Amino acid sequence: MLSSCVRRVPAAVRFIDSLICNSSRSFMDLKALLSSLNDFASLSFAESWDNVGLLVEPSPPHTVNTLFLTNDLTEEVMEEVLQKKADLILSYHPPIFRPMKRITWNTWKERLVIRALENRVAIYSPHTAYDAAPQGVNNWLAKGLGDCTSRPIHPSKAPNYPTEGNHRVEFSINHSQDLDKVMSAVKGIEDVSVTSFSARIDDEEQTRISLNCTQKALMQVVDFLSQNKQLYQKTEILSLEKPLLQHTGMGRLCTLDESVSLATMIDRIKRHLKLSYVRLALGVGRTLESQVKVVALCAGSGSSVLQGVEADLYFTGEMSHHDILDAASQGINVILCEHSNTERGFLSDLRDMLGSHLENKINIILSETDRDPLQVV
- Round to whole Å and give the CA distance between 169 and 293: 46
- Round to whole Å and give the CA distance between 41 and 134: 8
The answer to whether 64 touches 122, Cβ cutoff 8 Å, is: yes
- Round to whole Å and give the CA distance between 260 and 350: 29
Task: Cite the annotated binding site by residue number.
Answer: 93, 131, 339, 343
Name the CA radius of gyration of the chain, rounded: 27
**Omega before 61 within 30 of 0, i.e. cis:** yes
Nearest to 269, CA basis, from 260, 364, 41: 260
- Round to whole Å and give the CA distance between 62 and 293: 50
Task: Cite the annotated binding site for a divalent metal cation by residue number.
Answer: 93, 131, 339, 343
Q: What Å distances lie between residue 260 and 67, 284, 289, 372, CA to CA? A: 40, 18, 9, 29
| First-last CA distance in the chain | 50
Task: Give the H/E segment covering residue 282.
Answer: none
DSSP one-letter code for 162:
S
- Burial of 150-186, coded b for 16+ CB within 10 Å and e otherwise, reads bebbebbeeeeeeeebebbbebbbeeeeeeeebeeeb
Nearest to 232, CA basis, from 172, 190, 177: 172
DSSP one-letter code for 7:
S
